[in-house]
Amino acid sequence: MKTRKSNSTVIDHNHQTAPTQFLDVNGTDFAYRSFGRDKGIPVIFLQHFTGTMDNWDPVLTDAIALQHPVVLFNNKGVGSSKGTTPTTVSEMVQDALAFIKSLGYTKVNLLGFSLGGFIAQQIAADYPDLVNRLILAGTGPIGGKAIAQLESSVEKALADGPERVLINLFFSKTPTSIKAGEAFLARLSERKQDRDPQFSQETFANQAKAIVAYGLADHQDYSQLKSISQPTLIVNGNEDIMVDSINSYIMLQNIPNSRLLMWSNSGHGALFQYNLDFAVEVNAFL
């Protein structure tokens, strides 16, 4: 059952049972789920291309929720959120920012994965008083290598059928990584009630346009990265085919207060392949 936002934080739920709530933000209903600790600075999860709340790994989110308040949400037009998905990252930033502020938060931690990492970087740079700490997973800077090749990456991943797309995009081609990908897909299907609808074609097209434009932008001075003042944890696999792994080193070199964690034998979705290790690192960092 879906409920409207209440005045109390949900603390008696986990990833699988947290109810979908809706928050009216400037006339648009944003879908979100909150669970975990009832005190402390919340961790706001910013999702990947076409991903919804049900695309987060429950093992990862539950492990972080043991120590922090967790908020998953769909940005405008995605999944069960209403409105139209924007065609630029900057517009997505403004929508995410309006959602966070409408929840009443004045200080948050941001965990941005892939496209969510693009959004998180800009929020951290432009609104430093809002962001406490920043976690960037499988992502890269404006103009980063391979980001503009999104459509080619997706087309190649579809060669084995739509049911293998996430495995092909997020995991490396080794038996160990592929097995981890299959386990990840199984975990994504564990929630049976109150699931998000799949992404729409409009969301696919608009997010793709935003990502390609972000990847083609000429920002080789990395001024946005250099303006990020918050402590930043950068994580990735060593074989990221969606957002080339070299982008993680570039962020490390340009974000003043940053550290890099990279796993071997893994790809874009390394945070899901090594979900418990990642959660330990996040909890220690926060």
> pLDDT tens for residues 91-145?
999 999 999 999 999 999 999 999 999 999 999 999 999 999 999 999 999 999 9
Alpha carbon 124 to chain centroid, angstroms: 14
Report the pLDDT averaged over residues 146-172.
92
Q: What percent of the chain has pLDDT over 90?
A: 91
The strand ranges marked E within the chain are 3-4, 21-25, 28-36, 43-46, 69-73, 108-113, 131-137, 232-237, 258-263
Confidence grade of residue 11 (pLDDT, cut at 50, 70, 90): low
pTM of the model: 0.94
Which residues, including other chains, have CB under 8 Å from residue 26's CB and lie 6 or more apart?
A: 98
Q: Is the pLDDT of residue 180 over 60?
A: yes
Tell me what the pLDDT averaged over the chain comes to. 94
> What is the arithmetic mean of pLDDT over 49-62?
98
- pLDDT at residue 22 greater than cutoff 70: yes
Instruction: Write down all domains in the chain, each with its CATH number in brackets.
Output: 14-285 (3.40.50.1820)
- What is the separation of C-alpha 3 from the centre of its chain, rounded to a whole number of angstroms? 24
- Of the chain, the end-to-end C-alpha distance in Å amounts to 32
Cα(149)–Cα(14) distance, integer angstroms: 36
Residues belonging to the chain: 286
Label residue 159 by pLDDT band (50, 70, 90): confident
Confidence of residue 220 (pLDDT cuts 50, 70, 90): confident
Most distant pair of Cα atoms in the chain: their distance:
49
